[in-house]
Structure 1
């Protein structure tokens, strides 16, 4: 499944292109952006595989967007959307690294052909990378590849009877012991090493691990098939007092520090419980070691975590612990950021109460709450913005590597949702105030009241009074009077109309009352104001 972003400042074109893509590739995850700035933010926060972008957009055009994106990602396929007669722009985009271009207006067959072309290009690139990154051929392992395969199937409880008989030749029955797993941070490896370089690193680290296990007892050490970030050690300790003695933990901690200093990599080690028969029970200790590694999500990476010493229940159904009303939605709709963050922190504490759940369960629960929050807030958000939020969160939340990261990421989305609600409400309020002002400018001469105008715009009088003042810094009465006085001044300056006629023309039924109000507001009577202008 690929992530596809459609960037176009014309809403109808944007939605039309997205719908055609969805028709031909229903499994693709779609994002939409109204300009280059929004597209760049989405592509920065989320992995985007394919982007369709218009050339001419406000705030940041398509060419500038491509330049920014090429600094971040070489693999993204960018398709330029251009109108006939602007091919020079498309040519420039291709020079900047765009994959191809399409001419507007688009038809469904144009999109279908381009999607097929993109699929072929991405698949060809994937195969090339796989061939170039063949780590297994680089492993200088003392254990033959077949034995690595055999041991991996054994620990995963996938070995058949024939394979178990072969395992018996490597691990005698009734031999007590335990399993520990050393795991690299994949993100660090990807940033620091090319595939060929990392092959040399893991060879060195495996050699060092053999020196670490030697004082503990006989051990088989190998990289887990299909995941060379995990170095597995099956150990039969020579001591009988404890499965893992204090000095053994200290030795492992020193090993972690040695790897950090030498290779700049963070290594975490998970230790399973001891078993009385490794041949039959090592898969159980292996699974516990994996659970101990999962626990680094809570305690931090770069540590030795012993399964026997953690309050962890990977089978805890944390989603069932999410209360029906978390208080987050109410706080968000009131735009109370502090209360929303407090409600989120309280929810996380509730989910962690007792034994900690698996990171996957916790992330699923947080994602569930955030997605539901977007759905109940959808009326206060742009529809495509709500869809973008959900698509981003479904990618970002499961990718969080620590509890602190998921807290910060969830806080980030709460703030962005509140920002979007505030922006839309402010825009809506500004439109209403503009309509109110236009109505008063057209009907100022009529017998207007706060109650009458409030009713016209479907507000209660009390709310409308507060709403109007907060957006104009004037009361309704002050604003209406200002319009009437301005109109009266112009009439006085422009002719010899009677004061009574002018008073009636600006909404006053009583000329004497008009004269008193005019003098209060200007310091001059209407006649004095007219004479002043003539002088």
Structure 2
């Protein structure tokens, strides 16, 4: 909607026009009034249409119109006058006034003049919007071509591209990598818009382009002659302002001082993006950081690999973890080594852990293929590190139980974990599975653990029930079934006996 300003030192005329015209029908959504030209100028308002008395004390409507046209060259001027002074009209003509409203005011004539001015404003705004849209489209196409290495000098002959180049002094391409699984289908454009809006607060212009799936390309342009250090500072401030920054990785290319060099900035941003694996999500890496003399080769110590089974059997967990952490710190500095090579080296360790674990217990996620697949899909070294530490910690934990209980009782514990949600599970079934007499298993289990098989199983089931009540929205009956109870009333009684509260009260926070 348009904004109209009415200025007249005759209060009755000013108020009458403001209050008695069908402004909304004419496409004018805001009307402001002043009783002197001085007040209008001091208000700092910038109208689309100025309706002013041509002859006012201290400052004429002509002078006011000149001031408003300086603020908005597209402003449409309409004069109100009861005078026939030719000098006034000659001045009005020089300002390209849209029309005149004579005093006394005829409403129909006033509506006709103002409607014409409003219609012209709307047409011009539409044309300007179309032109801006075309310019945005052309500039985005140019930036997309530059990013893909298809820069053509003919682009610079396009008036929109030439204008883009002339308006700005510094340019920088930034690749934004999104953590897998963060975006739902179709949300890339939404993130694109959010990123560009945030960065425009710090840069004269920001174009955000979805370059690949979950990869954004930001083209940042700055008008002031900033230094490269100032550009980097602005970049960090822009990143800190983003709500999702911990789920993103920013790879900034080399700053360039002309659009002709933009392809090189895009290429350097792509090169910098390889540091994602080593630095992880939640930060930014600048091109010059990627050019440091990092190590280009990574090898796991063969003597460490040979020692791993012995370290696990002898429960020397601290020594093992110290050596693993040391190797991971070295891997962080091997930025010039392809991530695939680092994953290949740690696959050797996983193979040793898998073989060692197979002698202790059988679980699908400790099979060689499953472990290799997990490490292959690790997008960052941090995720790889977390997986290695988790697998190693579980192996030491399970080996300690194996050593404490012996192979038979340990096998009972493993089977109880597997059968936790089976309401038909019994000690007789357990004995048949492990090929022992049930009385022997019960006696051996109690002597090694200090509790009976049934009590141990109930403890596992109650622990699972607490986990489900805390972390899921499953109903009480669904929790009972997943915890190995077919009868929800019996489950409720067991839960209260074990924890002191009903399952509903536990979920409500009375017991944590």
Q: Same fold (TM over 0.5)?
A: no
The TM-score normalised by the length of structure 2 is: 0.42
| Greater RCO (Cα-Cα under 8 Å, separation 6 or more) | 1
